[in-house]
Amino acid sequence: MSKSAGSQAAHFVATFVAAPGAALEEPLAVGAVEAAGVRLLDASWLERGVALDIFIETPSHAALKAMEAALCGAPVDIIAQPAATRRKSLLVADMDATMIAEECLDELACVIGKQEAVSALTAQAMRGEIDFEQALVTRVAMFEGVTVEAIEELIGRLSPSPGAKTLVATMSAAGGHTALVSGGFTLFAEAVARRLGFDEFFANSLEIEHGRLTGRITPPIRGKQAKGEILTRLRDARGLAPTTTLAVGDGANDLDMLARAGLGAAWRAKPQVAAMAKARIDHADLTALLYAQGFRREEFVEN
């Protein structure tokens, strides 16, 4: 099938995206739609063997679940959304374990030999089992005396998640605004934002005296509501409709941000987040969020 005038009037588009190195076959995707009892209107490859748009009548939540089940464990993600508003003008993205592979505080804990204690608190906070702000304060206290030089050395070892730079560069080239938001710290976020090409960043500030961390956070603390509030502020400042916003994150402190976005995508997410997000990326890389907007592979901007 190929995209035609009929697809333009479709209520929804389901974008099927395969994991890197995996091959997506059209019969698998079409079969998943048919198995869910959803009427298929048209289909179009965004990148043959990798990403396929299937235009459908508006599906129920149960039908979307049935489509996922019909994939029978194939390493393929499905992002379903209204076709008319799929292209986004604002990207707000989490940093730790989303735009970069690492949790910065966990990595810093390795440097000072406190990995087990810090990682346990991080995991509990990201799963929503303990209060995010209190967990943050407790972890930061463990870093009293760590030098700024040690942090700068760690920053050089941070690795972008697959597709992160392409996602930011392509949306920027298309006229979108991009913001990195983190419940972590400006020392890390500033460097990551610059490296990935974000327009701006938001994070907490660590108190520093004589080149060392004091173990305290400079108020105010950006807690679990801050990311959603930042998204709303950036959206309203640009006069954008809620449907034109995209957010991506992995932890419980991202839930409000994901809920406020037109498309809120859970990236390799904790169970609570995956269950509540509008979309999940479990297999593909972050360029899935470009395919979801209708970008074809040849439109990607690589930096």
What pLDDT, in 10s, does the model give residues 103-156?
999 999 998 899 999 999 988 988 888 888 899 999 999 999 999 999 999 999
Contacts for 12 with CB less than 8 Å, ≥ 6 apart: 55, 56, 57, 58, 59, 80, 81, 82, 83
Query: Considering 42, 53, 77, 94, which one is annotated as catalytic?
Result: 94
Q: What percent of the chain has pLDDT over 70?
A: 97
User: What is the value of pTM for the model shown?
Assistant: 0.94
DSSP, residue by residue, 75-135:
SEEEEEEEGGG-S-SEEEEEIIIIIBSS-HHHHHHHHHT-HHHHHHHHHHHHTTSS-HHHH
Query: Considering 42, 77, 96, 254, which one is annotated as catalytic?
Result: 96
For residue 282 the two structure tokens come to 């479990």
Domains (range + CATH), the chain: 1-86 (3.30.70.260)
Q: Indicate the pLDDT class of residue 223, thresholds 50, 70 and 90.
A: confident
Report pLDDT digits (tens) over 4-25. Answer: 444 545 589 999 999 999 999 9
Over residues 233-237, the mean pLDDT reads: 99
96 is catalytic: yes
Nearest Cα neighbor of 266 from 128, 170, 142 is: 128
Runs of H (alpha helix) within the chain:
5-8, 26-35, 61-70, 104-112, 115-126, 132-141, 148-155, 164-173, 186-196, 226-237, 255-260, 271-276, 288-291
Q: How far apart are CA 67 and CA 64, in angstroms?
A: 5
